[in-house]
Each structure stands twice: as C-alpha cells, then as structure tokens.
A and B are shown apart, each in its own frame.
Chain A
C-alpha cells in the first residue's frame, strides 16, 4: 500500500517529462516543415496596417491613420489573393496589436513579404528599410536574435521593386527610401518594409486614390515576385 503514492507521484512526473519531450520534437518538426514549405509554394504576403483600437495614429478631421491604412491593406490583400499569393493581414478590424503579435503573425503565416502601412506628415511616399544590426555593444546580444538578419538582401530587392512600382504610379521624385533602426520590422523574418504614405494635407485618400495606392503597392509585390522567381529558377 505504501508504494502506491510513490508510484502515483512518479507517474505524474513521467507524464510531465513526456509532454515536454513531445514539445521539443514538435518544435523540431515544425522547423523542418517551415523550411520545406518556404520552397515551392505560393509566396505568403502579410500586410500590416499600423496602429488600431485606442491608437488612432494621425487624425485629420474625419480621417484617421488607423482606418485609412486598414482600408488600403484590405485592398492590397484582395489583389494579392487574386494574383495567386497567400495573402493575410496582421489586423482585419479596428483593434490594437502589439509589435510582438504582429511579428508572431508573420512567422505563423510564414511570410515571404511583410509590409507595414502608415500615413506620415510629408508630401512623399517614404519607404523605411529596417536595420538589422548596429555597432553598439549593449545591443549586440539582442540584435543577434533579429529576424531580419538573414533577409537583408531580400529586403533590398523588395525596396527596389517597390520604388519602381510606386515611382511609376506617383512620380519618381515622390518616393524616398530611408533606413530605420529600432523598428519592429528588424524582428521579421521576411523581406520587410514600412511604407509611410503622404499626409492627409497632401492626399485626399478618396476611394479612387486608395485603390491607386493599393494597385501600385501590389505591382511592387509582383515585381519582387518576378525578380525572385527568376533568381530561384
């Protein structure tokens, strides 16, 4: 009789240990699956409309950044879906998402392309390129785990494609590229850019203009797909 509680206790520990072992195996399996999936399947596009919920972003009269970028994101996702991409968005409604959740979603969707959308206080379309590393000793341990590290070349190619497409649509002089340190995008393991659209003073954001913007950004995605497909074949 005395052996029974000891046996039960041991069983309980064995159960916990087995569960952990399974977790490790599952994680390793998921990793392999991810690698297999990334080659030879439809490219995954994740659109990330900025702000949301209590964070309105920039407000001008009836217009607010969180709403405008959500509308444009939906249009881009629809175009990408029709074009044969696997398209998704970090948020499809009016709620605030943390940076961590946005980055996690890009991993979950195995993003090949990740585009954050914002509205700025300028006339131009500014394309921000995430910086993956810096010289500061304090930061090195943190940057070592940065997701962008292996994707800098892809990001540069996406930038080129996007500059061309947006330049064609809205004029070369209206498209500016800038490096951006301390961006959530540094943690994203995909070709990633933050596109900041012209201010509410410089653009009406009528339904037509939103469609034009979405169209130009989608063309940038298509250009990039062609570029990488040529390299992969």
Chain B
C-alpha cells in the first residue's frame, strides 16, 4: 500500500509539467491552425490586382506550352516575327507617351501589354504637384494618352495607368483610373 501511494505521489508530481507542456502544444497548434485558416481572409488584394495575377498566372502556364511570348514589352527571347512587330509598336507608343507626358514633368517608367490588349502604363509620381488642371484638362491627358496608344499599337483594347508601379485612383483628383480606361474616353462628348 505504502509503495503504491508513493508511486502515485511521484506520478502526481509529474502532472503539472505534462499539463503545461500539453497546454503549450494546444496553444501552438491552435494558433497555427487559426493563422493558416485566417490568413487568406485578412490578405488585402484588390479585385483588379487579383485579376492581373490570375491573368499572369494563366499567361505563364500558356507560355510553358507556347514558345512565342504574348506579353509584349517583356520579350526577352522573342522569336516570332509577330512578337517583334508588336514590340516595335509598343516601343513607338512608349516614345510618344514619354513626349506627351514631358509637359507635366512625368516620366514613363514601364509599358507592357497583356494578351487581351490591355496596356499597362507605369508613370512616375508628380502629376498632382505639377498639374493645376480641372476636370476637362485631366480628362484630356487621359483621353490623349488613349488616343496616342491607339494610333500606334494594333490590337490595343484598354489602358491601365499605374503610378510608381502601383494601382492609383486618379492622376489629379477628378478622373477615376482605378479601372482600365477603354474607348468610352473618346466617345464621351466632352468637347
């Protein structure tokens, strides 16, 4: 009897430690599970950015199948004649845009086109500081950009303006560029 009681006492002494260890294990597992479960719910991603990502993903999957690149302006290894022709058109659009935006002391940082014909124009910041324009003037900058690209790039459908590589709501507080700008910009009857 005595020895068994002693044994039980020894076992009781070990219990708090195993409980602490167990509690720690539960805490770690539960935190990890919650983190994994909740992470996607708290990750901010705009609908448009995720659309670009899904487009780029399907693009890279397609590129694995097809050797000729279809994301123009990103053409290292472009081999088809069509690819070169599109690149040349995009380069021409690039220099026209650079010239057009010089008035506003805004630089063209990057220019590329995706498979659906949406052209991404990455501009340097600074138009808000250098602008001094109203609705009509800002509208004209954007419709002007659209017109210049349409003249030089065949297959162009819409343009998406980025500022410093990021999505922007507006150049100067009047026109909403958070979504791609399409042909409505030319048929708006603003003139």
Residues of A that sit less than 8 Å from B by CB: 1, 4-5, 8-9, 12-13, 16, 50-51, 54-55, 57-59, 98-100, 118-122, 126, 128, 131, 134-139, 142, 178-184, 186-187, 194, 196
Chain B interface residues (CB < 8 Å from chain A): 22, 25-26, 29-30, 33-34, 37-38, 48, 116, 118, 128, 132-137, 139, 142, 157-158, 169-170, 172-185, 187-190
* Chain B residues, CB < 8 A from A136: 157-158, 182-184
- Choose from B139, B158, B189 the contact partner of A138 (Cβ within 8 Å): B158
What are 24 A-B contacts with C-beta separation under 8 Å? A9-B26, A13-B37, A57-B173, A58-B134, A119-B134, A121-B136, A121-B137, A122-B136, A126-B135, A131-B184, A131-B188, A134-B184, A138-B182, A139-B158, A178-B189, A180-B190, A181-B184, A182-B176, A182-B179, A182-B185, A183-B175, A184-B169, A184-B170, A196-B135
Counting from the closest, the 7 A-B pairs by CB-CB distance are A136-B182, A134-B184, A120-B134, A5-B26, A138-B158, A181-B184, A142-B179
The one of B38, B133, B178, B180 in contact with A99, judged by C-beta atoms closer than 8 angstroms, is B178
Q: CB distance A121 to B133 under 8 Å?
A: yes
A180 neighbours in B (Cβ, 8 Å): 135, 139, 188, 190
Q: Which residues on B sit within 8 Å (CB–CB) of A126?
A: 135-136
Choose from A5, A13, A51 the contact partner of B25 (Cβ within 8 Å): A5
Bound Cα distance A57, B137 (Å) = 12
- A122 CB to nearest B CB, Å: 7
Distance between A133 CB and nearest chain B CB, rounded to angstroms: 9
The CA of A149 and the CA of B90, in the complex, are separated in Å by 35
Do B170 and A139 have beta carbons less than 8 Å apart? no
B135–A194 touching, CB < 8 Å: yes
B133 touches which one: A5, A58, A134, A182 (CB < 8 A)?
A58
A120 x B135 contact (CB < 8 A): yes
A55 to B188, CA, bound (A): 26
Asked whether A99 and B135 contact (CB < 8 A) given A8-B30, A138-B182, A182-B175, the answer is no
A128 CA to B138 CA, complexed, in Å: 14
Bound complex: CA A122 to CA B177 (Å) = 24
Q: Which of A55, A122, A138 has the most CB of B within 10 A?
A: A138
Q: Which residues of A contact B190 (CB under 8 A)?
A: 178-180
| Minimal beta-carbon separation of B176 from chain A (angstroms) | 5
Contacts of A99 on B, CB cut-off 8 Å?
169-170, 176, 178
Find out whether the CB atom of B169 lies under 8 angstroms from the CB atom of A181.
no
In the complex, what residues of A have CB within 8 A of residue B170's CB?
Answer: 99, 184
A120 to B189, CA, bound (A): 18
B174 in contact with A118 (CB, 8 Å): yes
Contacts of A128 in B (CB 8 A): 135
